[in-house]
Chains A and B, each alone.
Chain A
């Protein structure tokens, strides 16, 4: 299956082209567009970006694998990211993770992530990029209902 950017994304990309001194700088923005479009970064998308920017496929692949937020596989379920770093752990993130695993792992992929910059709202999780802070088992149920 070949990859191409949607018309909407192509317009956005065109407006970004003159924003950078070199096309190579567009690697991260284009990877984000690809991931938003397909929910992950396919080999075809990497190939397309490689041709579009005239940068070797292998370079783009090495960039994709460096950054935690880029995924090379299609998520089978919606993802819940639970912050597990110190301020969250001190405020019960382990219990939150256990509760999510027990009650929601059928429909969600529950993963632990490192500090999300929400330490004053610990414990917290992010779903579809949106932060949910000061979590309790009750608020989790409300959010996920």
Chain B
């Protein structure tokens, strides 16, 4: 079930050091990169069907095209603010194969005609960020980066400081400009992101790390994996009540239950599977009964009423309390709401407090009604998708596990 493209070098000792990286194929795609015109590279990425691996799954090639076509000084920003609960894949790339990321950044910068790249790393990832900095320094010494390089790219790590919302690309750019991480209003027609008003590409770490394989082997080689609409592979995460939690790369479209059983080692202590949060906390929970034919790709999980998100599955066994689990997640959303929009700031706070009464088994029928109404008031009425995600999480738990909530009503 495992397919290693991005994670190919993860288990090689000292894979973060440039000599080891070079001996294992790193930077070898750059020859193909510089032989081509930037537009050819964008076309290859389009043909490969590569989709953003930070959760949204947008077509990467289209994003590149928009930035490439826009006039101005261009920036490439790598989103390494991985903070979605259940997601811990990008840190593997940062610490186990940072040169793959650097190689991907050089190719991406060349394709969209940018010379400046920032990697926005969440503040908590200090030790992994230090490994990445070491790799960047080595890449400068070997003239893959900087003035001595064939194509000049300068990479700067920018350290976040503990705000989940900065994983949202426009909030990330606000943060990178020296502001609070408040998401920006979205445009009605396609346009790039902007860093200090200049056209900017924001891509997730794993997305960029997938680029070297595609350039070197061609779009068809990538499309040989996965499904028609979700081509390639993803670094799936699995955690919660499972025997072998971890990050495992696999093709899109494989069976979720098989993955949990064979790769994740099944539910701990031989317990039954109760539910799965499929792709990070913000994707609606799915009960076991719905998972028989569930496949790990964007289309299938969306058809089931959830989403593939980051591919970070949180597995809940039969002993897990759904009331407690939802309370846990709402405490997270309450803490992480950026506070800019009232429905989100107030809604996450109310939901969090109401759920305390459910956990204490002292809720009333009215509490349940208020919880539903607050959830409704958060959906589709804010600047970014944070509140709609929180609303979807509440609705998912109530839809599939309402009985457990009713049991907490006095």
Residues of A within 8 A of B (CB): 16, 19-22, 24-29, 31-32, 53, 55, 59, 62-63, 66-70, 84-87, 89-91, 114-122, 126, 129-131
Contact = CB atoms under 8 A, between A and B. Distances in A.
Contacts, number: 143
A57 to B, nearest CB: 14
A32 B56 CA distance: 30
A35 B85 CA distance: 26
B177 A24 contact: yes
Interface residues of B, number: 57
Given A114-B332, A115-B332, A119-B314, 7 more contacts: A31-B161, A66-B181, A67-B123, A114-B83, A117-B91, A117-B124, A119-B239
A122 B178 contact: no
Contacts of A63: 178-180
Contacts of B154: 19
B87 A117 contact: yes
A32 B121 CA distance: 13
Contacts of A55: 178
Q: Which of A67, A70, A121 has the most CB of B within 10 A?
A: A67
Q: Which 10 A-B pairs have the closest CB atoms?
A: A67-B161, A68-B162, A119-B239, A27-B178, A69-B162, A120-B245, A87-B239, A66-B180, A115-B85, A24-B178
Nearest to A21: B196
Given A115-B83, A129-B127, A28 B178 contact: yes
A119 B163 contact: no
Interface of B: 73, 82-88, 91, 122-127, 154, 156, 158-164, 175-181, 195-196, 198, 237-241, 245-247, 277, 281, 312, 314, 316, 320, 324-325, 328-329, 331-332, 335-336, 338
Contact of B156 (A19, A22, A27, A67): A19
A116 B179 contact: no
Contacts of A70: 161-162
Contacts of B328: 84-86, 89
B88 A120 contact: yes
Q: Which of B158, B247, B312 has the most CB of A within 10 A?
A: B158
